[in-house]
Structure 1
């Protein structure tokens, strides 16, 4: 059921001082989750702290290679999509503009279940800015992603309820 993340060699969990996973099962279709993740105009509905996402290079939704800018963890971030397997896997990597030596890799795995979908998100982080934030609140990134999953599930259920009628 679970497939390993295709980590960039230098961002593997064993090489990253910050590594965490979060997971949740929700009674919606994988297509609903996928569509909410790809259309970044939805992100402010469920992604803590995100007010807007700027897709670059003329892209209208996330796809393989899409570069984007947003604000995550209180930081202006530049990132690009590194993995893109429709309805099952999505990952991006990048880092804060204020700290070029700080980087992160965030992956999603979406697995259909009998009751809906199992969401798995995993992130590795490296660099001084992330380490400093983690010193201030050691579980801040994990807690933020727990909220992200809960809010995404809520939005997905509301979306499916609205469009099933």
Structure 2
């Protein structure tokens, strides 16, 4: 059912001390989910902790190669879109500005279902910066992405607080 992530060789899960996946069935079309993921202006409505996203290449929305700055996990982050298959998959990789040697790669796969779509998100993180952030609560990034999926589903379906199946 799922396609493999096109991991950069240095970010594969087996080489990453932090690796997690999250998934959710959503009663929204793949097109609706996609439109929210590629619209940087929509991110603050569903992405936990995101207050701004600035596209750096003059693009109006995310696309292959788009470089952007945002605040993720409480950190100012620089990233670029590295996978882009419209309405199916998108991934970006980047690093916190405070620790360029610590990297992250975050991928999304959207699969149509009879009731809407299945969202799969997977991330790998490397470097001392991310490891230190995770020490007090090792599942912090996984929990944040659980909330991300729930909030994205809520925005996509227009049903605040409605449970997703």
Normalising by structure 2, report the TM-score: 0.95
How much does 1:10 deviate? 0.3
Q: Tell me, yes or no, if structure 1 residue 130 matches structure 2 residue 100.
A: no
How much does 1:68 deviate? 0.1
Superposition CA RMSD, Å: 0.8
Q: Tell me, yes or no, if structure 1 residue 10 matches structure 2 residue 14.
A: no
| Cα distance in 1 between the residues matched to 2:98 and 2:31 | 35
In the alignment, what sits opposite 2:95?
95
How much does 1:136 deviate? 1.4
In the alignment, what sits opposite 1:30?
30
Normalising by structure 1, report the TM-score: 0.95
Q: Tell me, yes or no, if structure 1 residue 145 matches structure 2 residue 142.
A: no
In the alignment, what sits opposite 1:156?
156
Alpha-carbon deviations, 1:107-136, whole Å to 9, x = none?
A: 000000011100000000000110001111
SS at match of 1:32: helix
Q: Tell me, yes or no, if structure 1 residue 71 matches structure 2 residue 71.
A: yes
Higher fraction of helix: 1
Moved over 3 A (4+): none
Task: Figure out how many residues of one structure are paired with residues of the other and give that number.
Answer: 159
Segments of 5+ residues of structure 1 without an aligned counterpart are: 160-165
Segments of 5+ residues of structure 2 without an aligned counterpart are: 160-165
Paired residues for 1:105-116 under 5 Å: 105-116=105-116
| Cα distance in 1 between the residues matched to 2:63 and 2:50 | 19
Alpha-carbon deviations, 1:69-113, whole Å to 9, x = none?
A: 000001000000000000000000001000011000000000000
In the alignment, what sits opposite 2:120?
120
| Cα distance in 2 between the residues matched to 1:78 and 1:131 | 18
Alpha-carbon deviations, 1:38-97, whole Å to 9, x = none?
A: 011000000000011000110110000000000000100000000000000000000100
In the alignment, what sits opposite 2:163?
none
SS at match of 1:58: coil
